[in-house]
Structure 1
Amino acid sequence: MKTWKAFAGATTLAALFTTSALADVTNREVWDSWRTYMGSTGLDISASENTSGNTLTVSDLILSMAIPEGDGSVTMDMGQVQFRDQGDGTVLVIFEQKMPITVLPKDGNEAVIEIDYTGMTLVVSGDPSEMTYTYSAAEIGAELVQLMTDGAPSDDVKMALKLTNMQGRSTMAMDDLTKVAQKLSAEGLNFTLFAKDPDGGDVDMTGSLQGVEMVASSAIPLIENSDDPVALFNSGFAVDADIRHSGSQMTMNVTGDDGPFNADISSGSGTVQMTMSGDQMSYDGTNQAITLNATGAEIPLPLNFTMEELSYGFAMPMLKQDGQQDFRLSMTLGALSIPEMLWGMADPGGMLSHEPATVSFDLAGKVTLFADLVDEQAMEEMEAPGELNSLTLNSLLVELIGAKLSGMGGFTFDNTDMATFDGMPRPEGAIDLNLKGANKVIDTLVEMGLLPEEQAMTGRMMMSMFAVPGDGPDDLNSRLEINADGHVLANGQRIQ
């Protein structure tokens, strides 16, 4: 599994930008531990060494790794790195300002990304069992400085990333596992991206994040078969990261055969939380106070949308275990406001509710895995990697044009019975739904001429079949159930 070996190597390269090398309290121990760890992750190291006084200088330092599946190579030229004993049990690590990373795919193309440090300082302290890295930089940038396509220079893609006023602190301990705990903050993160479509047109994007903060930890096993993801996870590989920002902006300009399209997107605070280990992989994110402004050749008028909240999340198991394992999936589009200009076209009389719309759901369940999801060969050979045991709707909410649908419930699944429901495991359980304001919305749509009376009547008949009156005058309840015999019931009445 070369992909996972490359992932371990890439993780090591990324760590260089924030924590530098693995180090102890002397310059020789700093360099030796760095070199040992780099080699254990599959990176090839080329360098020459020289010691003068309190400084160990490593020159012509080149790190290289193969792209998975023999698709080429990646090389990082770090030039000269100095490890200077400061006489107080700490080591100052000094980098060159610019470090090129060359990507050489097997198709013969070439890309060079240049890492650029301004005002970078890194001091290593601690003891052999646990080392501390304290670092800061006025700017850290990454820019695509060269792109070769079919042997000729190309301007089809340009991109750059810059982190400003960054500072952080990390601790690292090495044993059977290399454990890193890191806290980082930066005043801002800015990026630009330009891409040209060979068939015509281009995309030009700029964006920024303010008040970036990250708290992260990782555990990487030092094992011989680091290219085997199953072995890595079973040996304790784990990553946990919590990233936050206080605001974001992005501008996108697109040109093409259909004319230009322009969009400006901004948001308030946001978070991203990610974990990955042998137990589970999860990814959760939130953004607050989102605004989208868009114009374009095919858009008849400028559009302005706002949304109070966008959140999403999922979690799933990674490795097979005895018994059932948990998973979840959720999303919220909270208080989405549609421009009054659009409402004026669809509802000029203001008969429908123009209140912000919300769509939200939260699902959870249990599955049984038959194979490790990180085992690529097993995934290719198996028709299904596992089976669904249960599914629970913790919450459902849809609020739109004056109607509100909410619900909750759950089902278990009998995977030994694939006949009752024609090829799918037999479910058993129930879901409870509540619908408010539906009849008023139907009446309004009929009055506006958007819904024919006969279709409205059909809709009301369907609601009467599946729902019963609730507490309010325009309030409907429905309990949809599948029993142990495979019968489908609505509010206790069998419908299948």
Structure 2
Amino acid sequence: MTYRLLTLTALAAGQVALAAPAQAEMSPADSWAFYQEYLSAFGYEITADTSDEGSVLRVENLTMSMDLPDIDGNAGTISMNMGGLILTDMGDGTTRLTLPGTVPFSVSGKAQEDFTLNGEYSTTGFEMIIGGTPDAVDTSFVADSFAMRLLEFVDSDGTEQVPGEISARMEGMEGTSTILVDGGYSITQDMTAAMLGYLVDIDARETDSDSPGILNLQGEMTDLTLDGDMTLPTGLDVTDMAVALRGGYAMGMSMDFGTGRTEMRFEQDATETQDAESFGFRSTSQGGTFAGSMGDTGIEYGTTSTDLTIAVQGSDLPFPVETTAGEAHFGLTLPLLASDDATEFGTSITLADVAVPDMLWAGIDPQGSLPHDPVTLKLAISGLGRLFVDLVDETQMAQLGETGGAPGEVDALKIDELLLEAAGARIAGTADLTVDNAAPSPFGPFPNAFGTADLRLTGVNGLLSNLGNMGLLPMPQVMMFSGMITQLGEPADGPDDLKAHIVMGPGGDLTVNGNPIPLQ
């Protein structure tokens, strides 16, 4: 996990640097000097060939390399050959940065073995204007398009051409950034783009005899708005993420988009050991958001899409499945660093207004005995806990895997929201639990947990009765469940609307609406 995180962070830092490089009121040569210093702050070693033509500085053979920490005896490296750029003095205290139309690039690294990825990137209509002051650098840029394509993979087995296409493209881009230099770098950025698309189109029917087949994965988002920020204090080594986060390194971004589309098609030919397989997936959405951040308190991540359509088909499915959903959401809050103090964590998931396909209803409820309303599921959990290890430290995580210990402990756990609506029934609830890690639970070899919970059951007895009448549940079980619900619940607002207040004591005693329930 840490090695991948470091590699992605290194690549991201390089791209941030390219988006906001130099200083205003300086010559192109002075701007390039600042550019190198700025990239070096992210841990890169910069090499390039330069030619000074007075008002124009040409930078060619630009290479950025970084050593990654030794993990389990594997000292990683990453090196990016980014081609070149041109810095032009505009004569008004600003500098213009332009890129060649098409430039080969390569990314080399070393983990278990050396590898190189070769490709090319191209731009049309790209121009960046650099201004401001040496301590507050402002940039603005526009680009008609930016595209990147992977061409070949090189390792100890030789060079392998990509059997198809792996590419990404952005169109209609413009943005601004500001770099404040004061005991480090503080960077803020914003950008809009008309479109972001990607394509993975691989045909391995002739190149892979073990798994011959094709994979096509493509998608796009439109009307994007992105905002980001990063803080990098002086002297931090971002390849040691735990140290960097404790030293003040932090980053965050948010993104909104107008529409989204994802399509995937996979087909694998039959071989001597396996049958032919196929799978297809397509989804669209009418907008959504993404937000993420990382700092000394941990990571926060959240993504939401609205008005979705989903279609799935495959050789392992009896029939194609098509559905719609009003909203899909996932969120995560997770600490990353060991601490003696309790830290917040949480996760949330929402699948709202999911339409059950008619073909499924036809198999489950051919007579239409149940309401065929859309299904909604919401779950939000939060709590307090502490980590014993740094989750971004690969060595600590490897040692933990060898010893089999726990990475941390939970002090408090809440169910902030539980909601399930389906087939005319509704279940809603919340819970608030305290965890005593010093005391064993009366029910088993784990920490003692106690607290309260509230449940609301609406239409559940009616659903159970319908399921029994349809033969999907045995009637004795229906009668038993309905009797328990009616006996333990209190009437709320209707004849099939019950509520329950549950209290679990530290000693294992349980009450429901004040009535004791024997558990031991």
User: Deviations 1:436-473 (Å, cap 9, x if unpaired)?
Assistant: 11121122122222222223223234435643444321
Structure 1 letter corresponding to 2:408: G
Equivalence map 1:19-58=2 (5 Å): 19=20, 21-26=21-26, 27-58=28-59
Distance in 2 (alpha carbons) for counterparts of 1:346 and 1:377: 51
Distance in 1 (alpha carbons) for counterparts of 2:154 and 2:394: 32
1:136 — aligned with what? 142
Matched, 1:102 2:107: yes
Structure 2 letter corresponding to 1:25: E
**Secondary structure, aligned partner of 1:9:** helix
Matched, 1:127 2:133: yes
Equivalence map 1:174-189=2 (5 Å): 174-189=181-196
Matched, 1:348 2:371: no
**Cα displacement (A) at 1:254:** 1.4
**Secondary structure, aligned partner of 2:446:** coil
* Conserved 8 A contact 2:373-2:423: yes
**Secondary structure, aligned partner of 1:57:** strand
User: Deviations 1:223-244 (Å, cap 9, x if unpaired)?
Assistant: 1544322321122111111111
Equivalence map 1:123-202=2 (5 Å): 123-148=129-154, 150-156=157-163, 158-195=165-202, 196=204, 198-202=210-214
Matched, 1:278 2:284: no
Q: Percent identity?
A: 26
User: Deviations 1:312-343 (Å, cap 9, x if unpaired)?
Assistant: 11112233445322122111100000122321
**Cα displacement (A) at 1:215:** 0.9
**TM-score scaled to structure 1, two decimals?**
0.93
Q: Which one of 385, 389, 394 corresponds to residue 411 of structure 2?
A: 389
Structure 1 letter corresponding to 2:291: Q
* Conserved 8 A contact 1:76-1:99: no
Distance in 1 (alpha carbons) for counterparts of 2:239 and 2:79: 19
Q: How many residues align?
A: 495
Which ranges of structure 2 fall in alignment gaps of 5 or more residues?
269-274
Distance in 1 (alpha carbons) for counterparts of 2:251 and 2:479: 56
Distance in 2 (alpha carbons) for counterparts of 1:154 and 1:2: 26
1:358 — aligned with what? 376
Distance in 2 (alpha carbons) for counterparts of 1:7 and 1:210: 24
1:91 — aligned with what? 95
Structure 2 letter corresponding to 1:39: S
Distance in 2 (alpha carbons) for counterparts of 1:224 and 1:267: 41
2:502 — aligned with what? 480
Distance in 2 (alpha carbons) for counterparts of 1:385 and 1:342: 42
Structure 2 letter corresponding to 1:238: A
Farther-moved stretch of structure 1 (274-283 vs 458-467): 458-467
Structure 2 letter corresponding to 1:101: S
Matched, 1:291 2:314: no
* Conserved 8 A contact 2:118-2:153: yes
Which ranges of structure 1 fall in alignment gaps of 5 or more residues?
none
User: Is the alpha carbon distance of 1:478 and 1:281 closer, same or farther for their aligned partners in structure 2, counting shifts above 3 Å?
Assistant: same
**Cα displacement (A) at 1:252:** 1.4
1:11 — aligned with what? 12
Distance in 1 (alpha carbons) for counterparts of 2:408 and 2:104: 45
Farther-moved stretch of structure 1 (288-297 vs 135-144): 288-297
2:218 — aligned with what? 206
Structure 2 letter corresponding to 1:115: Y
**Secondary structure, aligned partner of 1:231:** helix
* Conserved 8 A contact 2:151-2:162: no
Distance in 2 (alpha carbons) for counterparts of 1:44 and 1:371: 31
Equivalence map 1:313-462=2 (5 Å): 313-381=331-399, 383-462=405-484
RMSD between aligned alpha carbons? 2.4
Structure 2 letter corresponding to 1:401: A
Structure 2 letter corresponding to 1:358: T
* Conserved 8 A contact 1:24-1:128: yes
Structure 2 letter corresponding to 1:305: T
User: Deviations 1:385-420 (Å, cap 9, x if unpaired)?
Assistant: 322111111111000111100011211111110253
**Cα displacement (A) at 1:4:** 6.8
Q: Which one of 262, 267, 274 corresponds to residue 250 of structure 1?
A: 262
**Cα displacement (A) at 1:50:** 2.5
Distance in 2 (alpha carbons) for counterparts of 1:211 and 1:2: 33
Structure 2 letter corresponding to 1:90: T
